[in-house]
Amino acid sequence: MRASPLLPVLFAALALGCDADSAVTPADKFDPIKVQGDFIIAPDTSLLVVGGGRRLGVEDLSQLYALSFGRADWSSSNRSVATVDGAGYVHAVGEGTTTITAVVNGHRASAPVLVQRYPAPLHFTQVSMGVDHVCGVTDAGTIYCWGSSISGGYASGQLGTTKPMDACEGYYNGSTGFRRSTARCSAVPVRVESDEHFVSVEVRDYGTCGLTSAGAIFCWGMVPGMQFVNWPVPQRVGGNHVYAAISPPCALTTDGDAYCWGDNSVGSLGIGAASNTRVPPTDPVLVSGGLKWKSIATSSGTTCGIATDDVTRCWGSGVRLGIGIDTTTPVGCSKVCRAAPTPVVNSPTFKQLVMGAMLTCGLTADGELFCWGQLTSYPDYQKLYEPTSMGATRFANVASDGNETCAVTADSHTYCFGPGVTASKYMPASLVPVEVAFPVPMRRVASTGATGGCGFGTDARIYCWSTSTIMQGAGELRPTGYGPALWAEDTTATQFSEVAGQR
């Protein structure tokens, strides 16, 4: 277990077991569980998929952090939903709810297990990863999300559902002493509560937005670009415009106009002047300049786009603007910013543009990758003030949603670079693209986030890699990890997984 000095949150989540046929027998590998007194089952709620499973344990309430796995008098109230063996391994056999009970030394504890069945195999067409949740849209137009339902320590509803889910449990050492906390999460995809037909989804740190086939935008969680706006299920934003693409808190209409909402203190609205204006997501404003746009990309208050004249322009703040070494601070702005679309200096013509937390990157028609922004984090802060070639390798697509950037060649070789903040073997700490050998070759890296990334394998399935087990979407919850957002982090865990529900 890798401990963080920042926040003493210990998780009592649990590892996904193998299937029922290979479940261990108690006599083979597990000793009897010993507790001093009362205990609880961990996790106290489990969401499983038919055919999947999970090993449950017990937490001794008389001993902080005392999590045990092993033999006990385990039982299921509804064996048509899930069975449990004598070592606490639960196997999901049918849709519904059952109660799993353990009796140890005369003490008893119970926990509900919820089992879902997908109506059909999930065929994802697009996926987006954030800090601690992931969402994907299927070819049926539905959106499924997995990960944590809180972000930054607050319940945000970013998974888009109010239905029961897993419990990510922890102990927090606060001003009043140790206390147990529980956050809703899901280690498998759960459907967002909406009957709309979606064509794309974009995850941000604290929320999510989806675009429907009718050109409407729906957002949920902590709405991107707004403060203290929290929707547990999707609500429509964007006014009455018909949109062709979204990159919250901005979007592109079918006739090429760019609209934005949210805070304008660093010129993020692109309306020509920075101000303390805050525009609601239900009534976005038109970006100034009279330009028409082919595409836009937005991250952390800065937006860049390719206009119909093939010139790349940016607005907002920071080195990701690509305006060269220019420290000018316009009136109304507290830092270097541009409040209207400003051409990127010495920029090639790009066919694809992506923006992460640190870099903006563009891909030319012949596959050359250029990036600008911040290559390294504190304390180095190495910066690229204008588009800089990332080498001779030619790529077919690129993704840069978090701190890391990944690009894939036409023959499915993946290269990644960035500060390596995830401590994952798939996210190398490198200032230049380094080839990464995934267990399944990637046809396209779809998204990168704070703890890893997701991509389409050459078999057309979605795979995710992360130091957070719930972000892998394969059903795993492990008893390891520290972090303010209740991540289940473990660099020794299996870091590459096929997202559940695709078969």
User: Residue 422: which pLDDT band, with cuts at 50, 70 and 90?
Assistant: low
Provide the percentage of residues in the chain whose pLDDT is more than 70: 85
Which one, of 112, 167, 119, 169, lies nearest residue 144 by Cα? Answer: 119
Confidence class of residue 228 from pLDDT cuts 50, 70 and 90?
A: confident
Per-residue confidence (pLDDT) for residue 84, from 0 to 100? 97
pLDDT higher than 60, residue 494: no
pLDDT score of 170:
60
Q: For 21, phi and psi rounded to 5 degrees?
A: -65, -25
* Pairwise pLDDT comparison (311 vs 67), residue with the higher score: 311
Dihedral sign from CA coordinates of 152, 185, 101, 476: negative
For the chain, domains (ranges, CATH) are: 10-116 (2.60.40.1080)
428 confidence band (pLDDT: 50, 70, 90): confident
Angle formed at CA 122 by CA 299 and CA 53, multiple of 5 degrees: 105
pLDDT value, residue 27 = 45
Phi then psi for 292, rounded to 5 degrees?
-110, 145
Q: Is the pLDDT of residue 174 over 90?
A: no
pLDDT tens by residue, 445-483: 999 988 889 999 999 999 999 888 888 999 987 654 333
- Other residues' Cβ atoms within 10 Å of the Cβ of residue 311: 15
DSSP state of 200: E
